[in-house]
Amino acid sequence: MFTQLSAAQPDPILSLSLIYNADQRENKMDLGIGVYRNNHGQTPIMTAISQAETRLLQTQTTKSYVGLAGSEVFNQAMIDLLLANTSAHSRTVGVQTPGASGALRMLADLLHVANANTTVWLTDPSYVNHKPVMEAAGLKVKFYPYFDRVTKQVNTDAMLSALAQAGSNDVVLLHGCCHNPTGADISLEDWQAITALANKNGFMPFVDMAYLGFGDSLEQDGAGLKFMADNIEEMMIATSCSKNFGLYRERTGAALLVGGNISDAQKAKGRILTLARASYTMPPDHGAALVADILTDSALTAVWKQELTMMQQRIIGLRQRLVQTLTAKGCDQFTFIADHKGMFSMTGLSPEQIMRLRDEFAIYAVGDGRVNIAGLQEQQIDYLADALIAVTQ
Ligand code: PLP
Ligand code: TYF
């Protein structure tokens, strides 16, 4: 049976990491996969996570099953983190999932159960796995104009006029903040305009929030989502603790369902649990147990927030210093990097230029031109700037 299979298409980002690992050059630089690194090139375990882990080791008495929805303390903590002080808070339920990836798939499966004729609209471009996950759930996928390849910002007019065509069989997927792969975010006014369109034309917003706290701050990064949830009847949210709690491999995330009322939301949750049962059944506990502990303990929450702010500030500093260094060398082609949010920037470099960065300079970036600014070290900025100038001359 296996012999009949055609070979799989490799994931363009994960396969790049393998090539990077095999590269023997000492000055190699990984700006590919979306992982935060400190100035020593490490992805550290966050202090609050270490402290919660120590406590868990001392207090946990069983590894017995938790349940289909995972930790309800964690689920409520995610609802509080994303939707506190909104009208949606009391009509939202959560399901713990294996990362935001698990949430994306469970929510997509739910959409298919509710309406097999659903089309999901994705930003052009979007996170590599959005299209495959939606299609695997049997949904149709369409792209709406988003990134302006000239200005390197969102083309608001084109986006809004396309979304004005979306109707009741449509779901519009939005990035909560720190757009992957471009770094170009929509403004609060855009969130308001999209909310108005959803209310007028009946499409369902689906927000993927994978980088809360990595852009401007926890507050500012969540403001658009909060506005929308406050002013809409139904929406869905996939959220991740991979980046902002540094829990990548622990597979920690949640699917949140905002209903017109709590019983509708609970009904949808019940259907998600049935879908989860037919898939992975129960999510892994460890990461969610740590996050639940941190977010229900004010001292640990403060430790977490402080470190998250430090990481966010480091990324902003790297963006600014890279642009300053390029400008000082007479290159003003990349000033947009200082305006982008979160870990990524879409540089506009061609696949050939990205290949030259790799071959001639041992700098690894994704073939579509995305660089992970959060993978950069201060002492590499000058070298990166020279390489960018060399391949664009
Ligand atoms: N959504 C977006 C936009 C992402 O960039 C990522 C990155 O990994 C994910 C979802 C998946 O995150 P997780 O590791 O929580 O599954
Ligand atoms: O976009 C990224 O780099 C991260 C990590 O199949 C990632 O979101 C990359 C590829 C993939 C899953 C996660």
Tens of pLDDT, residue by residue over 91-104, are: 999 999 999 999 99
For residues 286 and 35, give the distance between their C-alpha atoms in angstroms, rounded to a whole number: 20
Say whether both 95 and 212 belong to one domain.
yes
In terms of Cα–Cα distance, which of 168, 146, 164, 165 is closest to 156? 146
Q: Does 253 sit in the ligand 1 pocket, CB within 6 Å?
A: yes
Write the DSSP symbol of residue 1: -
With a 6 Å cutoff on the Cβ, whether 208 touches ligand 1 is: yes
Within a domain: 274: yes
Closest ligand 2 atom to Cα of 210: 8
* Atom 12 (ligand 1) nearest CA: 100
Where does the pLDDT of residue 79 fall: very low under 50, low under 70, confident under 90, or very high at 90 and above? Answer: very high
Residue 86 lies in a domain: yes
Specify the pLDDT at position 211: 98
Q: Based on the domain organization, do 108 and 182 belong to the same domain?
A: yes
Among 296, 326, 361, give the residue marking a domain's end.
Answer: 296
Which ligand is the nearest neighbour of the Cα of 253?
A: 1
- Specify the ligand 2 atom closest to the Cα of 127: 1
For residue 336, what are the contacts with CB-CB under 8 A and spacing of at least 6? 151, 152, 153, 345
What does the block give as tokens for 342? 């979160």
**pLDDT attached to residue 265:** 98
Question: 92 pairs with which residues across the strands?
Answer: 258
Say which CATH number the domain at 268 has. 3.40.640.10
User: Among 196, 205, 142, which residue's Cα sits nearest to residue 172?
Assistant: 205
Ligand 1 within 6 A of CB of 206: no
Residue nearest to atom 1 of ligand 1 (CA): 210
**Test site for ligand 1: of 43, 74, 207, 240, most ligand atoms within 8 A of the Cβ:** 240
If pLDDT is split at 50, 70 and 90, which confidence band does 213 have?
Answer: very high
Residue closest to 246 by CA, chosen among 281, 294, 316: 294
Are residues 174 and 280 both part of a single domain?
A: yes
Q: Is 302 a member of any domain?
A: no
How many A from CA of 248 to the centre of ligand 1? 9
In this predicted structure, what is the pLDDT of residue 273?
Answer: 98
pLDDT tens per residue, range 240-286: 999 999 999 999 999 999 999 999 999 999 999 999 999 999 999 99
Whether residue 306 lies inside any domain: the answer is no
Partners of 75 in the beta sheet? none
242 and 173 in one domain? yes
As a whole number of angstroms, the distance between CA 203 and CA 197 comes to: 8
State the DSSP code for 364: E
The reported pLDDT for the residue numbered 142 is 98
- Helix 381-392 to helix 351-361 angle (10° resolution) is 130
Which tokens hold the place of 55?
């406590």
Ligand whose nearest atom lies closest to the CA of 214: 1
Shared-domain flag, residues 344 and 269: no
Same domain, 236 and 377: no
Model pLDDT, residue 139: 98
* Cα 128 to ligand 2 centroid, rounded to whole Å: 7
To the nearest whole number, what is the mean pLDDT of the chain? Answer: 98
> Do 214 and 265 reside in the same domain of the chain?
yes
Query: Which candidate, 109, 43, 129, 99, places its Cα nearest to that of 284?
Result: 99
150 domain residue, yes or no: yes
Task: Determine whether the shortest distance from the Cβ of 97 to ligand 1 is under 6 A.
Answer: no
**Alpha-helix residue ranges (DSSP H) falling in the chain:** 14-22, 47-59, 72-83, 99-114, 130-136, 156-163, 188-201, 218-221, 223-230, 262-277, 286-295, 298-328, 351-361, 381-392
- The rounded distance, in Å, linking the Cα atoms of 316 and 338 is 7
Give me the DSSP letters along 305-343. Answer: HHHHHHHHHHHHHHHHHHHHHHHHTT--TTGGGGT--SS
Amino acid letter, residue 84: A
The tens digit of pLDDT for each residue in 107-163 reads: 999 999 999 999 999 999 999 999 999 999 999 999 999 999 999 999 999 999 999
| Ligand 1 atom nearest residue 241's Cα | 15
Q: Say if ligand 1 is within 6 A of residue 34 CB.
A: yes
Among the three residues 296, 326, 356, which one is the final residue of a domain in this structure? 296
pLDDT of the residue at 140: 98
Q: Which atom of ligand 2 is nearest to the CA of 32?
A: 3
Q: Tell me which ligand sits closest to the C-alpha of residue 179.
A: 1
Please report which confidence band the pLDDT of residue 301 belongs to, taking 50, 70 and 90 as the band edges.
Answer: very high
Q: What is the rounded CA–CA span in Å between residue 71 and residue 66?
A: 7
> Closest ligand 2 atom to the C-alpha of 372?
3
Whether residue 281 sits in one domain with residue 180 = yes
Q: Are residues 240 and 173 in the same domain?
A: yes
Are 120 and 139 contacting, i.e. CB atoms less than 8 angstroms apart? yes
Is residue 70 domain-shared with residue 200, that is, in the same domain?
A: yes
Asked if residue 23 belongs to a domain, the reply is yes
Q: What CATH number corresponds to the domain at position 386? A: 3.90.1150.10
Compute the distance from residue 297 Cα to the ligand 2 centre, in Å: 31
Phi, psi for residue 206 in degrees, rounded to 5:
-130, 110
Residue 5 lies in a domain: no
How many whole angstroms separate alpha carbon 179 and alpha carbon 205? 16
Among candidate residues 230, 185, 203, the one with its CA nearest the CA of residue 83: 230
- The CA distance from 235 to 320, in Å, is 36
The reply to whether 192 and 328 lie within a common domain is no
Question: Is residue 55 included in any domain, yes or no?
Answer: no
What is the full DSSP assignment across 122-188? EEES--TTHHHHHHHTT-EEEEEE-B-TTTSSB-HHHHHHHHTT--TTEEEEEESSS-TTT-----H
Closest residue by CA, ligand 1 atom 4: 210
Residue 316's pLDDT is what?
Answer: 98
Q: Which domain holds residue 236?
A: 65-296
- In this structure, the answer to whether residues 349 and 386 fall within a common structural domain is yes
Find the 258 Cα to ligand 1 centroid distance in Å: 20
Query: What pLDDT sits at residue 93?
Result: 98
Domain final residue pick, 296, 323, 355: 296
- Percentage above 90 pLDDT, the chain: 100
Q: How many domains does the chain have?
A: 2
Say if ligand 1 is within 6 A of residue 244 CB: no
